[in-house]
A and B are shown apart, each in its own frame.
Chain A
Amino acid sequence: MAVEALGSTPRAKVAPWNDPVIRGWVFQIVVVGAVGFLAWYLVSNTIDNLQRQKIASGFHFLGREAGFEIGDTMIEYSPASTYARAIWVGILNTLRVAVLGILLSTLLGTLIGVGRLSPNWLLNRICGWYVEAFRNVPLLLWLFLFYKLISEAFPGPRQALSLWNSVFLSNRGVYFPVPLADPIHKWMGIAFLVGIAAAWFVNRWGRKRQEATGQPFPGISAGLAIIIGLPALVWLAGGAPHHMSWPELKGFNFTGGTVIQPEFTALLIGLVLYTSAFVAEIVRSGILALHKGQSEAAAALGLSRGQSMRLVLLPQALRVIVPPMTSQYLNITKNSSLAIAIGYPDLVASINVTINQTGQAIENILIIMAAYLSVSLSISAFMNWYNKSIALRER
């Protein structure tokens, strides 16, 4: 009754210029109008300028021949390929360094973050110095330093450092042998994916059984056995092809085997060392956010420090850790664009050459934005899903 009475109170009569609703709309129309006018002004200038400079517009250039060389490609590419192909090579290179960077910096960052909480004073301090040194200096500086060190401090191919005469370290990169291409590799890849799915199901079964009977299940070792074992079985079934392609010094450089380029190595090392300093701080504050009773209770149950970290502390700390970690993952992806400074052919580098050759800045900038936005949005979507799956289930 009272609520209804309140709801039906007639609005006080106010002058239209004092009515907040009308004011709100007027204000919004003015602001949107101003922004629209600015946009129209910029666009009309741009169209003018493009016509004057006789620059084509539209995405037709994507189908034309790119004509530039790319040093490090994951898929087939030659200067005769199209611009679209060149940009795709760049996207794949960005993704490769971003995915590896995310995995390695999570691993290293977690180790260092846990190390900062160690009761061992020396370990604690060393991890602290590491974090301060890496996060207080620009990433670009680290990239230059690592790149110059690799390209100037390592010997040339003729004096390459070799490990067992099969892995060669030189300023042209790291050369190492790979198995010769064989049809069985495709099936091993499929077996690997099947193994991951199987490991997930086995683990789920193991967890259910533990909840029902209390019997623990060695989830990690069983999972690893399945994931590694299945492809190995397929390899054996396919006649165990073991011919390798060995790197050999021919003339001034190596042929055969495969190579990790120095640009890629420097970029990956720089990204991982820099980001792991931030990850370490996130992990540390996540664990510190837990109540002290958690580690004491774990100790009282007789769990070792490693066990209590793995089974009690980290799973709970994850809830605090995941959101800031998501933004670090996005940062790695975006920071991988610094590749352009040391000559690793990532997306921005490909686009930059394309802009210089075609002059079509707007279309190319749109491609960059679309590519990064879709990568960022997929990472956020995945991390949000993961965050929900580990969130505290409250009744």
Chain B
Amino acid sequence: MTDTMPAGDRKPIAPPVDETGPLGWARKNLFSSWGNGITTVVLIAFVVWVLSWFLEWALFTANFTATTGAECRGGGACWALIREKFRYIFFGSFPYEQHWRPLFAIIAMLAMLVLSADRRMWNWRLLVIWGLGSFVTFLLMFGQLHIPLSLILVVALVAGGIGLALRSGLATSSERMAYYALVGIGAVGLVLRIAGVLPKWSIAIAPLSYVETSLWGGLPVTLILATYGLAFAFPYGILLALGRRSNLPLIKGLCVGFIELIRGVPLISLLIMASVMLPLFLPSGTTIDKFLRAQVAVILFAGAYIAEVIRGGLQSLPKGQFEAADAMGLNYPQKTLLIILPQALRVVIPPLINTFIGFFKDTSLVLIIGIFDFLNTANQALVDPNWAGFPGEVYLFAAFVYFIFCYSMSRYSKYLEFELNKGTRR
């Protein structure tokens, strides 16, 4: 190519000022047309008006230091109320001098959730993290744990059964014998325990004073209800989804009936049912903890919704995957756990997190049956006659805490969606 211009004159011409920089940006995004310009001006006026009113109330005339509600009156926001009540809002009626326990329980659960969010942990490590995290959380909250013999026997039975099914055709004879031994010990032990031959024996770990669930309150309650609601509802939802896709008519009918029934009624009616009907269902004389009742209702409810999300993942798998697994001679547990679920769950992790956000918010409904979750303790903080009349401050504060949790989870779900689709995106 021949260059006709002398080298000294080849200065690049700057683009017009109104096309680049802040001015160009504003022209393009705020004032691209008459209508747009007017909208922008009106909206700016609106935002300035709202912000100036809000800042005036929440910051400039706010009271941060008052010691009684009467001192707060007449000014702006009374943040002193939050200062006065935040320990009650966060920890409820947990014994005051023991508040470090729920605090560390919250930290343990958050650590557990944050670690589970890391994709490098998505293997056997997840089991270890959840086992340890749950142990620490409940030890701190209860102060004493009694692990009954029957629970150990059930774990042995289930572990042996899973081992047998998954390693069928792969395990050496000694490995197989170990699984058979686990199943045998578990089954025989349980039968003996039910028959009353084995005593009601348990391992006691009691380093701290016992705190019963009726004293629990605030953020740990919300976190436990949501986290363990999901942790138990997840395997249960997988079973329901597999049952719904099964070609065995009776199983399919049971699962479809359960899922549709639960999804058709509001959570409140399930909670009311759990609080008034569970006691009727059990043999007279047995009492069941109120907190546990709510947890059971949340698990049943969450299971039905999770099942529908997972069904979406199962349906998105091409039929060839099922056929290939059959052709390899894998049995049903192997096919499901090694071929189908790893692929199906991968697709539905982002919608599952969105479901989890929904449950996190829905746990607030337990206040209707009298459990002191985070929203309920915030509500109770308003009852104090000394500090009556500042609902806005307390609710905004609670909303802010909920927002932090839900918003960070929704960002994580967005990020995962992006990460998991890297392989298929161009």
Contacts and interface: CB of A to CB of B under 8 A. Distances in A.
Contacts of A369: 261, 264-265, 269
A69 interface: no
Interface residues of A, number: 54
B391 interface: yes
Contacts of A338: 268, 365
Contacts of B375: 138, 140-141, 144
A334 B367 contact: no
B361 interface: yes
B272 A373 contact: no
B407 to A, nearest CB: 5
Contact of A136 (B249, B264, B268, B402): B402
A144 B381 CA distance: 13
Interface in B240-286: 247-251, 254, 261, 264-269, 272-273, 276-277, 279-284
Most buried by A among B247, B272, B406: B272
Contact of A42 (B269, B281, B362, B382): B281
B272 A348 contact: yes
Contacts of A32: 250, 254
Given A24-B248, A46-B280, A144-B379, A334 B265 contact: yes
A122 B44 contact: yes
B36 interface: yes
Interface residues of B, number: 54
Contact of A341 (B30, B47, B367): B367
A140 B283 contact: no
Secondary structure call for the A interface: helix
Interface stretch (A164-172, A291-299, A360-368): A360-368
B32 interface: yes
Nearest to B40: A122
A365 B399 contact: no
Contacts of A138: 361-362, 364, 375, 402
A31 interface: yes
Contacts of A245: none
A148 B266 contact: no
Contacts of B396: 145
Interface of A: 24, 27-29, 31-32, 35, 42, 45-46, 48-50, 52, 119-123, 126, 132-133, 135-142, 144-145, 148-149, 152, 334-335, 337-338, 340-341, 348, 351-352, 355, 361-362, 365, 368-369, 372-373, 376-377
3 cross-chain pairs, A with B, having the tightest CB-CB distances, nearest first? A148-B391, A136-B406, A121-B29
20 contacts: A24-B248, A28-B248, A29-B250, A31-B254, A48-B283, A119-B36, A120-B40, A122-B47, A123-B40, A136-B402, A136-B407, A137-B399, A138-B364, A139-B361, A141-B399, A334-B266, A337-B266, A361-B273, A362-B277, A368-B269
